[in-house]
Amino acid sequence: MSTNLIQNYISKPQQPTVKPKPDFDIQQELNNRTFIKPLKGKGKLLSGNILYAPVDTFRDITYSFKALGHAAKGKANDHELGKLNDLGMMAGGLSIAGYLFTKKTTPLTKGMEFVGLGSFFASMAIWPKIAIQLPAYLIHGVNVQKQYQDSFGRRKPFYQDPQFIPWDLYSDKEIDKIGDRLGVPKNIPNRRDFIQEKMRKLAVQNNTLWMLTAGFATPIMSALICNQAEPYLLRYQNNQKNKKADQILTNLNEHAKKYQTNPAQNRIAEIIKKHGNQPINDELIETITNALTADIDSVTSESFGKDLQAILSNGRYSVSDTTAKNVTANLQAQFAGKGFTKEFLEAVLPKEAEMIQFFKDNGFTGNSFQQVEHTEISNKIVEEIVKRANIFNQAHPDDAEDIGYIRELISANRTEEHPIAKALSEVRASLLDETAQSKLKKLAGILDNFRAKNLALDEYALIKVGSAPETVIANYWNNVSQELMKSLGFTTSEIEKVRFNRNLMGELLRGKLEQIASDKSAYDRVMGILVEKVGALNSQIKPNDLASHMLTDTGSQTTYEKEVQTQFNHFAQQLRENGFVRAAQSIIGNGQNENGSYIRIQKAFVEDRLLGVKSSFNRLISTLDLYRRIATDPNKLTHINPDLPLVREVKEELIELCKIVMLEGHSSDHATKFYMLRNPNPSTDTSPLEVAGGKVKNKYLGHAVEGTADISTDKYFYQNAMKFMFMDDIHPDTRAILERNVSIRDEFTRYRQLIIEKLGGDKYFAKPRHLISGKNQTGSDIKFLLTGIAPDEFFFKAGQQAFNTKKWLKMFGGFGAGLLGVTVLAQFFLGRLKTPRQVKND
């Protein structure tokens, strides 16, 4: 019989308890033999509760930074060093996002860098939870990503090392419960071991599945999160930006402070440093003008230069030895190559030293003269030359030169061409003295103050209506174009077919419009959305703040215009007070007319932008309305001259033209009065037009037997087309929808009138009588803006954008969904173990 060691140990007499010494007493420990027992474990399983996620995150971050401190001192353990990798990855990620943030130019792209970083880390964390942990738990009842806390308080994955799983942390009851969920029979031998093995197997398989899928899932999931987050971020930034812009206008002085960098004052200080107390010549005037007006338009800058010349100059020019030298040089250049002998030139033209002496003898040198006095000086020099010529002629009668020719050579109407006057006008007598310097400094201060205010106004205008990415109007445009794509029912496959060709998009769009126009409920829905979307712009850019007066009747100046007027008037007033009369006029106009002035440029920018955008959307309303009118009653042409009724074939041509013009026409088509190949000998059939499904049933169009040509003499065809498109009553359905939004209704009405007036009155030399309401002198820019973007072009661009997003989403969204499906389905093949034979109960 073997010795029972346990019994021996129990029966052994216990050592008397000795009070332990304060420090570790090895003898005490040996006597008690407690050292051979393992310490009682303090580890525990952690229950993952989503509510504690923020606390866990905070704890993890704190732990990581503590680990950093320990590692820096060389005292970290393996677990802490592992956490430092996460910290490094975070630092690297933030560095990448931070750097790319600086490379991006718009707030959205900048913001998306950090969204991208966050989504990447989130995807790394979320994927194993939703694709691995959750399905495994739901299917098998096992949390394969269970965490535990070891005796040192370190949080670790329970199944991190399959060879060393701390099973003792699970009680029998818990294991049995999991076993029941796993479907393990109750009465098998070593049931706990079997359940544990099944759990281990599941965990190993799932960890492998995680490693194999994470590489695909993380970038795709991150990209999908970004894709979905982008519109929200854009909307948020748009609102913030819009609010910020409004604040600029309400508190312009405060906002302008950030632009108060005083560049003009700095530049003037540099000039004074370099040219102080030096004569003011044309070159210096130009340098000063450029320094002062670097941020101002060229017309105003030119006026500034002229004013500056008058203010800084006393109208007198200095004469010095240099002047005499320059006169000599100019005379020699003037006489060179004119056939004079060398002897003649040497004898007649005073040499440099002689000229200097001549100037001194006549009291020119060291004095200053007005420009009118230059003639007198010039005459004296000429007479001296003539005197010398006469002497030469007398001495050399054979080589005598014509005195009249000599006088002619030294004369010129323009100062810069006169060899003497030019040299005399080179150096102004005025200096950049303290008085001039003081004037310039004051002026620079005025300009810098205005510049700061003007830049703040520019910022406001740019945020609201700038032709740049992510301005309020650009965001609005993108948003509406995508919404309208949906409303009109464009499918991805349709867009895919037409996305490279505007004409194909035009055909597709025409089909959509005809279909919608033929169905009242569809028409009401689409037109309702269109009017609502067009109206939304007025809530983002309020007409009281910014408006195109051509389209919108605001009654008075907008807030922006008032502020512009205040700042520009104040600036002009200050300039006028300092003698800059021409510049002041260039800035605000002559009091009756702003045309060509700086203030007009400032105001016109926003007006033109709004006119272009609003015209584009009004054109869409107009197009859809026209298609509706044609779909319901194509024979209703109210403005046709009753004396010249249209035959059916011409009507067919007219309606086809109108459909095309509304859909595809540019301002150049209006300018050339609609070139169209028509039948010169149309049928005399006057039967009414018929429609089906929004399309006219053409009986004659396209069937001209004798060929077609543009009939340039038929002004009525043009007039009828324009009247049908823009003067005939809009459809009652359209009117009913427009009545819901009075401001849009009024803008639309005004738009139609403007088209007739401005485009209809555009005189084209090849078709001079093709006018609607008399000749109009509107510039081509306004005509271009009124025409707006053609609907086919509008949807062509919007379609490409929509296609790109959808294509990408389809590719990677589909792949992501497939990956998730496969990963989840894989669970059904995991954790399979042959169940041991059950113990039979007798």
Partner 1 sequence: MILAVNNHNNKINFSAEDKKKKSLEYNHDTLLNNNFATRTKIGIDKLTNALTVYPAKGLKGSKNANFYEFLTMGTVPYIIGSITMMSVFNSANKHFAPFAKTKASALGQKMALGVLFYGLLKSASKSLVSKPVQMITGIDTERPYAKVIYELPDDINDTDITSIEHHKVFESVEFPRWDLLYGDEAKGQKRNYRYDKIAKKLGMGENLNDSDQEVKPRIKEIVIKTNLAKNISSYLWAATGVGIAFQKPWENFFNVMTFKFWKGKEFKKCLQSFGHNFVESVKDFWKGEGKGFSKHAGKALVGAAALTTVLGVINAVSHKSTNTKNTVNKNEGYVVS
Part in contact with partner 1 (CB under 8 A); list of ranges 195-203, 546-554, 636-644, 693-701: 195-203
Q: Does 315 bind partner 1 (CB under 8 A)?
A: no
CB of 475 to partner 1, least distance (A): 19
Burial 158-170 (b: 16+ CB within 10 A, else e): bbeeeeebbeebb
Instruction: Verify binding: residue 770, partner 1, rule CB under 8 A.
Output: no
Q: Which is nearer to partner 1, 213 or 602 (CB)?
A: 213
- What is the Cα gyration radius of the chain? 45
Beta bridge partners of 691: 696
Nearest residue to 485 via CA among 211, 806, 710, 765: 806
Question: Contacting partner 1 (CB under 8 A), which of 20, 41, 92, 189?
Answer: 92
Report, in Å, the least distance between residue 211 CB and partner 1.
Answer: 4
CA 751 remoteness from chain centre: 28
Q: Which is nearer to partner 1, 33 or 562 (CB)?
A: 33
Helix (H) or strand (E) holding 790: none
Least distance from partner 1 to the Cβ atom of residue 218, Å: 6
Local structure of residue 349 (DSSP, 8 states): S
CB-CB contact of 277 with 432 (8 Å) = yes
Look at residue 316 and give its three-state secondary structure. strand
Read off the DSSP letter of residue 634: T
Nearer to partner 1, 219 or 579 (CB): 219
Candidates 279, 746, 810; CA nearest to 493 is 810
Beta carbon nearer to partner 1, 260 or 686:
260
**Nearer residue to partner 1 within complex by CB, 79 or 177:** 79
Report in angstroms how near the CB of residue 71 gets to partner 1 at its nearest: 4
With a CB cutoff of 8 Å and minimum separation 6, the contacts of 372 are none
Tokens coding 770: 């093709």
> Which region, judged by CB under 8 A, interacts with partner 1, from 87-95, 325-333, 680-688, 727-735?
87-95
Binding string, residues 211-240; x marks residues near partner 1 by CB under 8 A: xx-xxx-xxx--x-----------------
Total of chain residues touching partner 1, rule CB under 8 A: 58
CB of 738 to partner 1, least distance (A): 35
Which tokens go with 710? 């543009």
Enumerate residues 322-381 that contact partner 1 by CB under 8 A: none
Amino acid (one-letter) located at 70: H
Map 122-139 to HEC letters.
Answer: HHHHHHHHHHHHHHHHHH
**Residue 204 in the binding site for partner 1 (CB under 8 A):** yes
* CA gap 491, 480 in Å, rounded: 17
Packed helices 598-632 and 434-465: angle between N→C axes, nearest 10 degrees: 20
Residues 532-591 that bind partner 1 (CB under 8 A): none
Q: Which is nearer to partner 1, 113 or 652 (CB)?
A: 113
Helix ranges (H only) for 707-764 are 715-726, 732-738, 742-754
Selected binder of partner 1 within 19, 40, 75, 342 (CB under 8 A): 75
- Rule CB under 8 A: choose which of 201, 306, 325, 542 binds partner 1: 201
Distance between CA atoms of residues 405 and 341, nearest Å:
15
48-56, 65-73, 186-194, 721-729 -> range binding partner 1 (CB under 8 A):
65-73
Q: Applying CB under 8 A, which part among 70-78, 270-278, 689-697, 720-728 lies near partner 1?
A: 70-78
CB atoms within 10 A of CB 298: 9
- Single out the residue of 315, 310, 264 nearest to residue 287, CA to CA: 264
Please choose, from the candidates 214, 96, 91, 203, the residue with its C-alpha nearest in 3D space to the C-alpha of residue 157: 203
Q: Which of residues 99-138 bind partner 1 (CB under 8 A)?
A: 99-100, 102-103
Considering the complex, state which of residue 239 and residue 260 has its C-beta at the smaller distance from partner 1: 260
Least separation, in Å, of the C-beta of 213 and partner 1? 8
**Segment 161-190, which members bind partner 1 (CB under 8 A)?**
161-164
Query: How far, in Å, are 253, 293, 406, 447, 450 from residue 459 at the CA level?
Result: 13, 19, 63, 18, 14
Q: Shortest distance, CB of residue 159 to partner 1, whole angstroms?
A: 9
Tokens at 428, concatenated: 């102004």
Options 194-202, 467-475, 577-585, 662-670: segment touching partner 1 (CB under 8 A): 194-202
Shortest distance, position 307 Cβ to partner 1, whole Å: 33
307 close to 439: Cβ distance less than 8 angstroms? no
**Near partner 1 in 803-832, by CB under 8 A:** 803-804, 807-808, 811-812, 830-831
Site string for partner 1, 482-501 (x = CB under 8 A): -----------------xx-
* Smallest gap from residue 73 Cβ to partner 1 (A): 8
Work out how close the CB of 491 gets to partner 1 at its nearest, in angstroms, rounded to a whole number. 16
**Span of 44-52, 202-210, 546-554, 782-790 interacting with partner 1 by CB under 8 A:** 202-210
The region of 9-17, 52-60, 71-79, 371-379 touching partner 1 under the rule CB under 8 A is 71-79
Residue 189 backbone class (left: φ over 0; alpha: ψ -120 to 50; beta: rest): beta
Kindly state whether residue 87 participates in binding partner 1, applying the rule CB under 8 A. Answer: yes
Which among 40, 37, 39, 59 is positioned nearest to 147, based on CA atoms? 59
Which residues in 126-137 are b (16+ Cβ under 10 Å) and which e? bbbeebbbebbb
- Is 68 near partner 1 (CB under 8 A)? yes
Distance CA 587, CA 599 (A): 6
Residue indicated by tokens 């992510």: 470
Window of 159-167, 391-399, 455-463, 743-751 that interacts with partner 1 by CB under 8 A? 159-167
- The 606-645 contact track toward partner 1, x by CB under 8 A, reads ----------------------------------------
Q: Which is nearer to partner 1, 58 or 99 (CB)?
A: 99
Contact between residue 624 and residue 524 where contact means Cβ atoms under 8 Å apart: no
Q: What is the bridge-based pairing of β-strands 44-46 and 147-149?
A: antiparallel
Tell me whether residue 833 is exposed, middle or buried, using C-beta atoms within 10 angstroms of its C-beta: 0 to 12, 13 to 18, 19 or more: middle
Q: Which residue ranges make up the site for partner 1 (CB under 8 A)?
A: 68, 71-72, 74-78, 81, 84-85, 87-89, 91-93, 95-96, 98-100, 102-103, 160-164, 197, 200-202, 204-205, 207-209, 211-212, 214-216, 218-220, 223, 499-500, 800, 803-804, 807-808, 811-812, 830-831
